[in-house]
Chain A
Amino acid sequence: MKEEWSNPPKWADRMLGWFCSEEHLEILQGDLYELYEYRLEQKGRFMAKLHYIKDAFDMLRPFALKKRKTHPDGYRDKNNSITMFKNNIKVGWRNIVRYKGYSTINIMGLALGLACCMILYRYVTDELSYDKFHTNAEDIYRIAFSTEDDGVPSNANGSLGPGATAGRDFPEVSHAARILKTGSGGRTVVAHEQKRFYEERFFFADSSVFEVFSFPLIQGDRKTALSQPNTVVITESMARKYFGDLNPMGKLIDAYPNNDGKKMQFMVAGVAKDVPSNSHFHFDFLASFHSQKGGRLESWNGFWQCFSYVRLAHGADEVALNEKLAEYSQKYMGENAWYTLSLQPMLDIHLESSLKSEIEPTSSITKVYVFSAVGLLILVIACINFLTLSTAKSARRAREVGVRKTFGAHRSQLFGQFISEAMLHGTLATVIAIGLTSLTLPLVNELTNKSLSLVMNGNWLELIGIAGGSVLIVAFMAGLYPAIFLSSFTPIIALKSVLTGQGSIGRMRRVLVVFQFTISIALIVGTLIVSQQMNLIREKSLSESGDQHLILQMNNELRANFTAFEAAVKQSPAVHSMSGASRVPTRGSSTDCFKYTEDKGGCAFAYRVDFDYPETMGYKLQAGRFFDRNIATDAKGAFVVSESALMGFELGTAEEAIGKKFGHGDYPNGRIIGVVDDFHVYSLHKQKQPSFMVMAPKERFNFMAIRVSPEGMAATLDHVGEAWNQFSTEAPFDYFFLDEAFQRLHQEDIRTGKVVSVLTLLAILIAAIGLFGLASFMLEQRAKEIGIRKVLGAGVPSILLLMSKSYFRLIFIASALGVPVSYWLMSKWLDGFVYQVAFSPLVFALAIVIVGFIVASSIGYQSLRAAMANPVKSLRNE
């Protein structure tokens, strides 16, 4: 192969010139050029260049390197700063080995702090990475719906129309796709041959979904996979679950995804990679939207679990489009438009969206801030340990500094020495921290449901960067002040007099210790209040009678045998009451917006239910009555509303509301027969919403709510399961408990609480070992003083008091600072909840007591030992 002459890469040449000594440069470069030309002929340009670069780097050998100044007599002078660095490290190492106890405290404290930071760094970067894997992530927006007058987005979900027409009506929108979840419960049975499972992540999607998002397909065509009715794209793990090693393409699956519970058949037309964990929604099945029948596919009325996404053309003006969208609903609905639209950037969904009916629970940017702050605080506490201990040790190092200075050491050299010692500590701590991180990440993953690892995506460079960064941060945060302080001694004072570590440096140390205590107190208060709040939520989600609510998902077979099934279940004495319902709290989430009288509209959660539903759920009547089997009109347009509906629909007081006209859906001319206390529909973060119940035929029931006594639960479940299997052959028996479902809604809060308590524990532990080290050091220095006091007649208690008095004064100051700070922070956090625990002074007292106890136990032992020691021992040697 003959190639034209071309030059080898210039930068490699320059690099060679940069490190290679002049003596060798010409010869080596000549050889490289010659080889380059030889290879150009043999292997082509690319390989020649590659080899050239490799060889240039290969020249990085001792013989070729530039030499430093050469003495006239040919003796090659070694670089002095390198020698000194080696010496510094050696001296630093000796110091670490000599004071094993203090070094362990320092290094372990730093390692724990760094490990926390590394784990939190992984966590936070994962939170921040959500949805960024899409190629056009920044151009993807979700159409948010607003039912508020001011147009502030309120719902993530909405009606079917806008997502269908936006692509046609706006040139800015290059692709639009809707994701629809059907079957109010959100779960559907999927079956292939003998395999039958409930699946939660079954969605319908427009064929353009793979144009908007870049979820990779392993098999199937991105553009056409979902263009035909009754086709489905499944994920890799679903392919394995249902088809094993067989090729799933073209195979058929059965599913019951719609409210009507009818069986639908889908042909697998594509296999997608599993959705990465840092996506704001996860699908296992994406069925083609066209599989849905009927003319409602572009309806602008009614909210569904339908999420509309658009991908804008690159560089499109999203502000202008947003303005157009604000009036878009009027174009299709005229004056009846009861909602407005706006764009929400997809990248904001995970951390900054707080809309109703999110497709999956989202996180919050506050949490990211809190975790980052706590991580930093822990590192600060660990660095303070280093600061206090190394300044306390200054008396021991003073002589060394004095001698070095006398022999001509410059201050900057001593500074360098102490900084490199801090770096040595930092390096050891980093190595341990990396070990700790890799050991604890599996636990963290379990706690947070993420898949974090030390090296993400094989990015070793990042890990090296993190490690290098850690060493530098420690050297800077922990080493800077001691280095400045220690290198500042004047030789004559350092050598002659004894530095006691009192005075300004002592003050500095006290300030730092107060700071540590303050952080500890604030963290403890935070942890206690978070756990109290979580307990409150748990209590609120339990029913007052102590009964459990068992929820079953209905299917067509059960609906067909509804009465018989009910009778069979009721045979068990543990079943107190049961009722079918279109929805149950925590499941199914569309808000119905409708006209409740001829001229007034409003929104509420609608529950289409059976006679016994309010009683089964244990709702408390404020006025009026529940549904009655003996009153014929109750089945046709009798409404039971919740307390907040009184306000929402202008019904006056509970008593006044009874008998008022009220209409919805099938019963536009209904009447209100009862008012109940508000009940929870979703997480306790959200405001309670107007809700109402109305009787409906069994075809509309998606759930069966059963109130059972908590005793003998296993037997009751067996009984209900038997009844189920008697009537339902297609869907396996499945149930959930209402209180557990409520708790799952607060999973994020509970997780945050757990993480914060673990971090708090660590922070306190680090602060405690630091204090332990400091106290033992101070006591060692005051050993003579204690000896003299004892000789002069001081008793053990008075010495104990003397030694610990100063620390308790510090705690007092720290409490005065920590209590208001934590009060302020925690009341901000609690603002997000409808139900809040009351701040009890006990919480603050407890936090102070805990810190006091830790201080007492870490200095108490040391003080006691010092107070009990025989004074002769400390006074004998001078």
Chain B
Amino acid sequence: MKGTYLGEFEEIVLLTIGVLQGDAYGVAIKLEIEKRTERKPSIGALHSALSRLEDKGFIESREGGATKSRGGRRKRYYTITAAGKRTLVKANELRNELFNLIPNLSFYGLN
């Protein structure tokens, strides 16, 4: 298996899949990211990240839900796996830990 390092964009995608619950597929993820962050990921970059996340075992996918606007093509829905959840939690903890280690003084000083 490839390394399980979680990139910054990958993390955002992973979180967004979590936010969208069971409704996470390509376009929905893209629009959600556009809504919540300043960035506008291209659909190619997004799928590239999704494919990497799947390779790393952080998400799994199932197909279904063809609509007319897709020209009758199916969607691929993504859900977070247990491994994905663990990695997210770990990343969050690590960040909080480091954040809390910053002394208040210098933190406000930096402000």
Contacts and interface: CB of A to CB of B under 8 A. Distances in A.
Our verdict on whether A and B bind, yes or no, reads: yes
Given A28-B47, A55-B43, A63 B73 contact: no
Bin the interface of chain B by size: 20 to 34
Contacts of B47: 24, 27-28, 31, 59, 61, 63-64
Contacts of A74: none
Contacts of B43: 28, 31-32, 35, 55, 58-59
Interface in B51-82: 51-52, 63, 66-67, 69-71, 73-76
A150 B30 CA distance: 80
A26 B43 CA distance: 14
Interface string A20-38: 0000101111111111011
Instruction: Pick the 9 closest A-B CB pairs, nearest first.
Output: A30-B73, A58-B44, A31-B26, A63-B51, A30-B70, A27-B76, A34-B27, A37-B69, A59-B44
A63 B48 contact: yes
Contacts of B76: 27
Nearest to B73: A30
A33 B25 CA distance: 14
B74 A38 contact: no
Contacts, number: 71
A27 B69 contact: no
A34 B45 CA distance: 17
Contact of A55 (B31, B42, B73, B75): B42
Contacts of A61: 44, 47-48
Nearest to B54: A63
A638 to B, nearest CB: 91
A24 B67 CA distance: 17
Majority DSSP secondary structure for residues of B touching A = helix
Contacts of B26: 27-28, 30-31, 34
27 contacts: A26-B73, A26-B74, A27-B26, A27-B47, A27-B63, A28-B26, A28-B47, A30-B26, A30-B71, A31-B27, A31-B43, A31-B47, A31-B70, A33-B69, A37-B69, A38-B27, A38-B31, A55-B43, A55-B44, A58-B42, A58-B44, A58-B45, A59-B47, A60-B44, A61-B47, A63-B47, A64-B48
Nearest to A64: B47
A33 B71 contact: yes
Given A63-B51, A63-B52, A29 B44 contact: no
A758 B18 CA distance: 72
Given A27-B76, A61-B48, A63-B48, A34 B70 contact: yes
A58 B51 CA distance: 15
Nearest to B75: A30
Contacts of A58: 42-45
A835 B66 CA distance: 88
B27 A29 contact: no
Nearest to B67: A34
B94 to A, nearest CB: 28
Nearest to A35: B27
A159 to B, nearest CB: 69
Given A29-B73, A33-B73, 18 more contacts: A24-B47, A26-B73, A26-B74, A27-B75, A28-B47, A30-B70, A30-B75, A31-B75, A33-B70, A33-B71, A34-B67, A34-B70, A55-B42, A55-B44, A58-B45, A62-B48, A63-B47, A64-B48
Interface of A: 24, 26-35, 37-38, 54-55, 58-64
Interface in B6-33: 25-27, 30-31
Contacts of A63: 47-48, 51-52
Contacts of B75: 27, 30-31
Contacts of B25: 31
A27 B74 contact: yes
Output the residue of A30, A37, A63 with the most chain B CB within 10 A.
A30
Nearest to B55: A63
Output the residue of B26, B44, B47, B66 with the most chain A CB within 10 A.
B44
A30 B28 CA distance: 12
A278 B51 CA distance: 55
Nearest to A5: B69
Contacts of B42: 54-55, 58
A37 B71 CA distance: 10
Nearest to B52: A63
A58 B47 CA distance: 10
A807 B74 CA distance: 77
A64 B76 CA distance: 15
Nearest to A60: B44
Contacts of A29: 71, 73
A604 B26 CA distance: 87
A29 B27 CA distance: 11
B51 A27 contact: no
A403 to B, nearest CB: 38
Contacts of B51: 24, 63-64
Nearest to B43: A55
B102 to A, nearest CB: 38
Contacts of A27: 26, 47, 63, 73-76
A219 to B, nearest CB: 43
Contacts of A26: 73-74
Contacts of A35: 27, 30, 43
Contacts of A30: 26, 66, 70-71, 73-75
B25 to A, nearest CB: 8
A27 B54 CA distance: 15
A31 B70 CA distance: 7
A59 B73 CA distance: 17
B59 to A, nearest CB: 14
A30 B74 CA distance: 7
Contacts of A32: 43
